[in-house]
Amino acid sequence: MKFLMEHESKEILERYGIKTARCIFVEDEDEALRAARSIGFPVVLKVASRKIYHKSEVGGVLLDLRSEEEVRDAFRRLMEIDGAEGVNVQPMLRRGIEVIVGVAEDEQFGSFVMFGLGGIFVEAIGDVSFRLLPIERRDAEEMVREVRGSRILFGHRGIGADVGSLVELLLRVGDIAERESVVEMDLNPVFAYQDGCVVADARIVVGERRKFEYQLPDLKKYFYPRNVAVIGASRTIGKPGFNIVWNLKQHGFSGKIFPVNPNAERILDLKCYRSVKDIPCEVDLAIIAVPAKLVPSVMEDCAKKGVKGVIIVSSGFSEEGETGAKYEREVIKIAKSNNIRIFGPNTTGVLNTDNNLISSFALLPTIKKGNIGIIAQTGLFLGILMGMIATNHPSLGFSKVVGLGNKIDIDDFEILNFLIQDEKTKVIGMYIEGIRNGRAFYEVARRSRKPIIVFKSGRTEFGKKAAISHTASMCGQDQIFNAMCKQANLIRVFSFEEMLNVARALSLQPLPKGNRVAIVHYTGSGCVQGADAAYLSELELTDLDDSTIRKIRSVTPEWHQINNPIDIWPMVEYYGVYKSYDTVIESLINDKTVDSLVIALWASRISDMTYQPDFKKFKKSEKPIYFVIEGFRDRVFELKNEYEANGFPVYPDIITAIKTLGYVTNYSLKKERH
Amino acid sequence: MKFLMEHESKEILERYGIKTARCIFVEDEDEALRAARSIGFPVVLKVASRKIYHKSEVGGVLLDLRSEEEVRDAFRRLMEIDGAEGVNVQPMLRRGIEVIVGVAEDEQFGSFVMFGLGGIFVEAIGDVSFRLLPIERRDAEEMVREVRGSRILFGHRGIGADVGSLVELLLRVGDIAERESVVEMDLNPVFAYQDGCVVADARIVVGERRKFEYQLPDLKKYFYPRNVAVIGASRTIGKPGFNIVWNLKQHGFSGKIFPVNPNAERILDLKCYRSVKDIPCEVDLAIIAVPAKLVPSVMEDCAKKGVKGVIIVSSGFSEEGETGAKYEREVIKIAKSNNIRIFGPNTTGVLNTDNNLISSFALLPTIKKGNIGIIAQTGLFLGILMGMIATNHPSLGFSKVVGLGNKIDIDDFEILNFLIQDEKTKVIGMYIEGIRNGRAFYEVARRSRKPIIVFKSGRTEFGKKAAISHTASMCGQDQIFNAMCKQANLIRVFSFEEMLNVARALSLQPLPKGNRVAIVHYTGSGCVQGADAAYLSELELTDLDDSTIRKIRSVTPEWHQINNPIDIWPMVEYYGVYKSYDTVIESLINDKTVDSLVIALWASRISDMTYQPDFKKFKKSEKPIYFVIEGFRDRVFELKNEYEANGFPVYPDIITAIKTLGYVTNYSLKKERH
């Protein structure tokens, strides 16, 4: 690593066409005077040192020096600072809007660029934006827009900046980072004017940049094996080795099942084998459910048999201390030298509704076949959460569900890559705790044309690195992850519930083409709440088209104001639910100012007070329609399942529905732009 | 309204002991020079005008003038500005941290004070805090701490400020506002130093301040009437006039019921009266369910009969245009001249579980008696939402539920005042859309020793006043409402669901004495999610006491790390749910480093895999214990109801539970301090 001094750093910037306050590095007083004279008063003197990172904190920046005497005095004071190697003399810049631009590296995601506004105050507030390098023009534009104080740049109280020049600066900084092998850069401050911008101070560190290597082998064969060996199969109901075989049989796995147990003849009426080696054909996939200490020898057997894929459901590995970690190392060694790929260990493994392959050791209810793929870094996903999802959302359909457990071999980005290519999968949901190869994840994810919903926990484990550069000190790991999500257009949610809300919408309905929503509610307060939620989700409450208002007028009393959100209650009172809802929904579908519909209704216990549309009619709509159903618990559940079985997602309240639509709309519009 | 000029404004400030950059107002060049000389160079010249609000936007502030020539030149330039009445000369202040302090008035809440940091940048970001006037020291302290950039003030990168002097400044500004009848004040900028602070620029507007008047009559008699007349009672099942009588009878209203209907003899076996006037005794409360156009004449009858309280459930008033508004005005007139108090119109009205008074026109399921009081500004609350709540949370108990409808007379603050005094009510939940007399609401609410949970919609209706003063331009109505919530220690939530989550916790469990939470989960990912949620809710994940760890060690395998959150799965695998959960919960209750417990468990379909504690044992705990139950839908619901019937609130996931605890803890700690 090489720390460049300010004048060296600025030379590089100038070479790439970036305007800087060019400085003259001087080591004695007379030199300083000559420099000041050649620049012209007033000047700025700054201490020059490879060791001092925050010059102003040590009084190392003296501004607006207007005479030779002031320059002499300033030079002497600066040279007295501990670590001073010399002094930089530069012109006093006219005051502009202070901006900070930086580059640093993240362990998981590598090189990134930062943009911030306003010097130390805004630094304290953390009003900065990040993107992984390399960036494109739209990334740079988003970075500038994204900071909270951006309206200062776009013009506020008579101040404003040449935003184009800042975008250009960011692009060039990205370019420099790439070509000059920059590991850290701080341009702080940069002054932004109405005509361009000038870098007032700069610090660059060059060195070897982090490299991220990975491969993307085809995992399809492990999801579509011709047969499966269950090693550690058991006759005892409730034991993992029994449950796995039961699940495979019960859910109707389309291939052959070979239970392996040296002490049993048959399990669930299937012939048992003493060892995987005794199975009389090639084995495509082995599910291993023996105690951890036996797994290495089972892996040896698999290697001998030529098995190329295993799911280790057993726990007792690195998560359980040193002994387990030893087994884990042995397993990895055997796998590596025999080209065996491993799911797990410590996981419920894989569910594929296409062939009913299932490795979960928990007895599962029926999981509906559908287009949602799930990747979860939690051992019990297919055990507990999947049961919860299936019973709460029985109309929701899944393609593949993959639990990753300890991830000693197959990593999330590999599964992600598989699901992106999987024809049966339309929507991908991921639960992530830690990421090992973030760069690989990013590169795979950003190529996806399918929506990817991400729920990441462990947000508060911020990096604890020493704050050397401004840029590095301002980035929590979560902020980099968040920037990555934006850049790859991932839908970042903050709970499993939100993930399922968004997944249901994407699974069942088309994407909206714009952000103009029409909201219908049967109470005034629901309308107000919907309007609030729309505002917070950056959805626009479109003014309805005149023809729409005319159509709705036919089912509403004279005095009723038709606004968006539409309070449908007065219509229902006069014309009943069917006429009111049908008329309103149909006219909104045909309104060219509307991109999406959110319709709330009341699940009365009296049937003809409850709206149940002719679903087929609305299915042709190219605009997404989400419903909200409120009322007595059982009735709501019943209706929700019916609506969802017919292709329309149902949410428990207007706020949740609008928030979900907000996530989907943001994704859709960014996808259009990308 | 009188706009004071800068030098006049500063004179007032100085009189109250606030340090200002004292300025000399001059009207010609020579005067300016004399002023500059007497102050000593460098000086600042600023345009003086009652018409120019943002001097720097028009180039009206010239800093750091170091010579007579510069002063002359500056004076001339400033006098050329449109509207210039003269020039202020003042000393150039040393650079400090820029702060803004202001006073303005809000329509609903009256006079308030604002604090912000960092001049125009932070203004653009909106990093400001508000409090209603008058303020106490703790309010001023909170205001300073609350701004996002406050760490600059408390010391960051070698910079810091005398926070005490800023608190003092805020208190004195409040004092001035009160005594000098200030309607607007902008102190902008104020420079904060490590030794005190100085007001660099000031602008004060004096005038008549908004007054808020209200009374707090006793409403108890309307909640505890000896009898009720139902005017517009009907024999037709499903009609409002039938449903009300049915509800009163079915839920067992403790007083007498007098149906009024000129065409019926008996309704639901109760004798009917032709008019309220025919009822042979004093009538305490009338529920009016006739069409809007008949309500005025019914009101006349009530007046004649001497009825002092009515609930108008009928709709068709101002919400339905001009004709309805006319009826409304007539009704108000009759009520005023006969001292009749009105609930509604357009509301489901009142439910009192103490005497089973109920005016809802929707047939309601059984509502459990309990300690939660609800006030809702939505007509259909007791119709739809209450049915939803009762079926989703059958173990939740209510004292009074009040729907306010159009609020033409009885206002939310009056009901709030009643519930604060009501012995049966321990927790108050409010749904608010708009507030009429915000000051009354605030003054009533802040005196409450009972927790008040507030869900307000209509957040996005920002005030559209012209941005004259900085202070006024920076306050959205929602920000003032939010400040009011902090000041009165209201628990502000953002959905009905959150309101019910918090209400359940407060209804069933004691308040935590501190913010140190212990979390138990049966999955690693639940632990990570819990830790994230705790961090976001400002809860501390306490380090467990050694004795606790020793006790837990007795039910856990050797290799298992005991941290907080506690991953209980390894214990469950070895020792079963009962031994594991009992040991862990008991030791946490006895751990003096723990203030609250959140315990997650899995609702297995197998009974002895599901933890069902000896509730009585844990009920003695003075620390709140919340549970999370996850699993198959029906099983979860069954368990939740059992736990809640036994006094322990249950949440659907760890994030929701922790967030709820965060709300409650924040309330509890502030209550302690107040």
CB atoms within 10 A of CB A254: 12
Distance set, CA B449 to CA B419, B495, B672, B674 (Å): 11, 23, 11, 10
Instruction: Tell if the CB–CB gap between B323 and A118 is shorter than 8 Å.
Output: no
Q: Give the position of tokens 């003032």.
A: B480
Nearest to A166 by CA among A193, A185, A146: A193
pLDDT at residue B481, as a whole number: 93
Nearest C-alpha in A relative to B609: A238
User: What is the H or E stretch that residue B46 is in?
Assistant: strand B43-48
Residue pair B556/B520 in contact by the 8 Å Cβ criterion = no
d(CA B279, CA B261): 12
Most confident of A235-244, A403-412, B562-571, B590-599: B590-599
Among the listed ranges A606-615, B33-42, B78-87, B243-252, which one has the minimum average pLDDT value? A606-615
Q: Chain A residue with minimal CA distance to B389?
A: A632
What's the average model confidence in pLDDT over B613-619? 90
Looking at residue A253, its pLDDT comes to 97
Q: Quick one: which of A98, A134, A128, A103 has its CA closest to A116?
A: A128
Closest Cβ–Cβ partner in A324, A457, A536 for B525: A457
For residue A159, list chain B residues with Cβ-Cβ distance below 8 A: 120
- Give the HSE-up count for residue A124: Cα atoms under 13 Å, Cβ half-sphere: 22
Separation of alpha carbons A15 and A176, rounded Å: 10
Nearest to B529 among A119, A457, A525 (CB): A457
Q: How far apart are CA A435 and CA A375, in angstroms?
A: 13
Q: What pLDDT, on a 0 to 100 scale, did the predictor assign at position B379? A: 64
B652 contacts in chain A (CB < 8 Å)? 497
Cβ-based contacts of A636 with chain B (< 8 Å):
388
Query: How close B280 gets to chain A, by Cα (Å)?
Result: 36
Helix axes A477-487, A438-446, angle to 10 degrees: 20
B529 neighbourhood in chain A, CB within 8 Å: 457
> How far apart, in whole angstroms, are the C-alpha atoms of residue B189 and residue B187?
6
Backbone phi and psi for residue A662, each to the nearest 5 degrees, phi listed first:
-60, -45
Task: Please write the tens of the pLDDT for every residue from B162-186.
Answer: 999 999 999 999 999 999 999 999 9
- To the nearest whole Å, the CA of A402 is away from the closest chain B CA by 15
Please report the pLDDT score of residue B472 as a whole number: 59
Which among B57, B348, B388, B497 is the top mutation candidate for probing chain A, defined by the most A β-carbons within 10 Å of its own β-carbon? B388
Contact A125 B149 (CB under 8 A): yes
B36, pLDDT greater than 80: yes
Q: Do B157 and A630 touch (CB under 8 A)?
A: no
Q: Find the closest chain A residue to B634 by CA distance.
A: A391
pLDDT at position B610, please?
85
Residue B459, pLDDT > 70, answer no
Q: Smallest CA–CA separation between A632 and chain B, in Å? A: 5
Alpha-carbon distance B447 to A361, whole Å? 57
pLDDT at A406: 85
CA distance B627 to chain A (A): 17
Sheet of A309-312, strand order? A256-260, A227-231, A285-288, A309-312, A341-343
Nearest to A630 among B57, B384, B525 (CB): B384
Helix (H, G, I), strand (E, B) or coil at A553: helix
Q: What is the DSSP annotation of B456-525?
A: E--TT--------SHHHHH--HHHHHHHHHHHTT-EEESSHHHHHHHHHHHHHSPPPSSSEEEEEESSHH
User: Residue for token digits 């060296």?
Assistant: A8
Integer Cα distance of B538 and B540 in angstroms: 6
Q: In sequence order, what are the beta bridge partners of A518?
A: A597
Query: A284: how many CB neighbours lie within 10 A of its CB?
Result: 18
Tell me, what's the pLDDT at A472? 59
pLDDT of residue A429: 97
Phi, psi of A152 (to 5 degrees): -60, -45
Structural contact between residues A208 and A186, judged by C-beta atoms closer than 8 angstroms: no
Q: Is the pLDDT of residue B464 over 60?
A: no
- How many residues appear in chain B? 674
Q: What type of residue is B53?
A: Y
Query: Is B121 within 8 Å of A57 when comparing Cβ atoms?
Result: no
Please state, in angstroms and rounded to a whole number, the distance separating the CA atoms of residues B271 and A448.
73
Task: Note whether A459 contacts B532, CB cutoff 8 Å.
Answer: yes
Q: Per the CB < 8 Å rule, is B121 touching A118?
A: yes
- Mean pLDDT across the stretch B250-266? 95
Q: Which residues of chain A have pLDDT under 70?
A: 120-123, 156-158, 379-382, 459-476, 607
- Complex-level ipTM: 0.90
Pinpoint the alpha helices (H) of B488-632.
496-508, 524-536, 546-553, 569-589, 615-619
Min Cα–Cα distance to chain B from A543, Å:
17
Burial of residue A80, with CB atoms counted within 10 A of its CB: 0-12 exposed, 13-18 middle, 19 or more buried: exposed
SS3 B322: helix
Mean pLDDT of chain B: 91
> How many degrees, rounded to 5, is the angle at CA B491 between CA B110 and CA B593?
135
* CA dist., res. A299 & res. A310, Å (int): 9
Give me the residue from A151, A536, A633 closest to B392, CB to CB: A633
- Total CB pairs under 8 A between chain A and B: 179
Cα distances from B404 to residues A612, B312, B351, B434, in angstroms, run 31, 10, 12, 12
Q: What is the mean pLDDT of residues B60-66?
A: 91
